[in-house]
């Protein structure tokens, strides 16, 4: 027998949905570029980019105007650092808003030419919500040798990064340069750029900056250990398998395991808070 919806519940649901919709903060995709650029979310992301820039400079991972940071705002926009600025000196007004084609749609400064690299990563992998590119000396030294650091030596590096990729050399700032990372961007969150530096992606700017720290610290420690003059001991293979199982649960990529399923951005969003509100209002009405 077909279930007849309770008319009171339906009426309450309509009223609650109308109130929630009226109070809802619009998503960045629904806003004009200037409104998206000045939204609360964008302001918060700008502050995060500035904090990450200071950390990169203080750790000496960026030299001169080198390095760049970006993050996605909704699905249509990207906040990015400008060209020709030290990552030590960024102010909120310096961070521009770009569309997914690299056109600056809000902000007075020119974007970094390496924004093309960031956009290729975002288009290829929806898990990437933030990208950090910099020139940390020990990791960059590996890129000069045409090799990535070996794996199986430090557990934290295995968990957060694992095998780093090495992208071939191309002239920075060009489309050809941006495309060098494409073969690696699904299975690696950390890519060495030959004769140049590194690029890391993650779900947030803070986490992408952490990856640069973990990579650089690992490369430095490895090179110091090699100077001790004793053979290095490796983490046993069965313990590496435990780490890979953990990475799968955490949603971290690793070239040693099956690719992660693509996130379904079109999946309907269940709103448990709204359902709870409806139930509370209906039970109040029934008590009267
Ligand atoms: Zn660079």
Q: In this predicted model, what pLDDT tens digit does every residue of 188-206 receive, in sequence order?
A: 999 999 999 999 999 999 9
C-alpha 228 to ligand 1 mean position (Å): 32
C-alpha 160 to ligand 1 mean position (Å): 22
pLDDT in the model for residue 4: 58
pLDDT in tens, 216-273: 999 999 999 999 999 999 999 999 999 999 999 999 999 999 888 877 654 544 566 6
C-alpha 288 to ligand 1 mean position (Å): 67
- Blockwise average pLDDT, block size 10, the chain, 288 residues: 67 83 78 91 97 98 96 96 95 96 90 92 97 98 97 98 98 96 97 98 98 98 97 98 96 93 60 72 77
C-alpha 141 to ligand 1 mean position (Å): 14
Q: Which of 21, 48, 91, 114 is catalytic?
A: 114
HEC readout, 26-70: CCHHHCCHHHHHCCHHHHHHHHHHHHHHHHHHHCCCCCCCCCEEE
Q: What CA–CA distance (Å, rounded) separates 92 from 39?
A: 13
HEC readout, the chain: CCCCCCHHHHHHHHHHHHHHHHHCCCCHHHCCHHHHHCCHHHHHHHHHHHHHHHHHHHCCCCCCCCCEEEEEECCCEEEECECCCCCCCCCHHHCEEEECCCCEEECCCCECCCHHHHHHHHHHCCCCCEEEEECCHHHHHHHHCCCCCCCCCCHHHHHHCCCCEEECCCCCCCHHHHHCCCCCCCCCCEEEECCCEEEEEECCHHHHHHHHHHHHHHHHHHHHHHHHCCCCCCCCHHHHHHHHHHHHHHCCCCCCCCCCCCCCCCCCCCCHHHHHHHHHHHHHHHHC
C-alpha 133 to ligand 1 mean position (Å): 6
Closest C-alpha among 140, 122, 139 to residue 72: 122
Q: What CA–CA distance (Å, rounded) separates 72 from 287?
A: 47
Cβ neighbours around 19 below 10 Å, total: 12
Burial class (CB in 10 A: 0-12, 13-18, 19+), 79: buried
> Does the annotation mark 237 as catalytic?
no
C-alpha 87 to ligand 1 mean position (Å): 12
Tell me the sheet residues that pair with 193.
Answer: 167, 197
Per the CB < 8 A criterion, the answer to whether 31 and 39 are in contact is: yes
pLDDT in the model for residue 111: 78
pLDDT in the model for residue 49: 98
C-alpha 208 to ligand 1 mean position (Å): 16
Angle between helices 205-228 and 137-144 (to 10 degrees): 70
pLDDT in the model for residue 264: 62
C-alpha 177 to ligand 1 mean position (Å): 11
Q: Which residues contact 63 (CB under 8 A, 6 or more apart)?
A: 135
């Amino acid at each position: 027998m077909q279930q007849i919806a309770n008319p009171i519940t339906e009426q309450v649901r309509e009223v609650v949905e109308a109130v929630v919709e009226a109070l809802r903060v619009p998503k960045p995709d629904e806003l004009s570029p200037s409104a998206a650029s000045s939204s609360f979310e964008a302001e918060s992301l700008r502050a995060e980019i500035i904090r990450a820039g200071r950390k990169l400079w203080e750790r000496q991972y960026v030299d001169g105007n080198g390095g760049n940071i970006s993050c996605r705002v909704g699905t249509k926009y990207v906040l990015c650092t400008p060209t020709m600025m030290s990552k030590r000196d960024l102010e909120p007004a310096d961070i521009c808003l770009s569309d997914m084609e690299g056109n600056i749609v809000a902000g007075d400064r020119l974007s970094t030419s390496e924004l093309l690299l960031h956009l290729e990563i975002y288009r290829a992998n929806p898990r990437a919500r933030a990208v950090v590119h910099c020139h940390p000396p020990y990791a960059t030294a590996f890129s000069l040798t045409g090799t990535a650091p070996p794996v199986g030596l430090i557990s934290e590096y295995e968990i957060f990064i694992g095998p780093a990729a090495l992208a071939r050399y191309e002239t920075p700032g060009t489309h050809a340069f941006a495309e060098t990372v494409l073969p690696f961007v699904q299975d690696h969150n950390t890519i060495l750029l030959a004769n140049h530096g590194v690029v890391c992606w993650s779900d947030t700017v803070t986490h992408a900056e952490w990856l640069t720290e973990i990579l650089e610290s690992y490369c430095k420690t490895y090179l110091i250990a090699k100077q001790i003059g004793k053979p290095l001991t490796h983490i046993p293979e069965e313990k590496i398998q435990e780490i890979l199982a953990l990475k799968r649960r955490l949603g971290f990529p690793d070239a040693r395991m099956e690719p992660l399923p693509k996130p379904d951005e079109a999946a309907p969003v269940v709103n448990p808070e709204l359902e709870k509100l409806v139930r509370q209002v209906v039970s109040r009405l029934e008590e009267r």
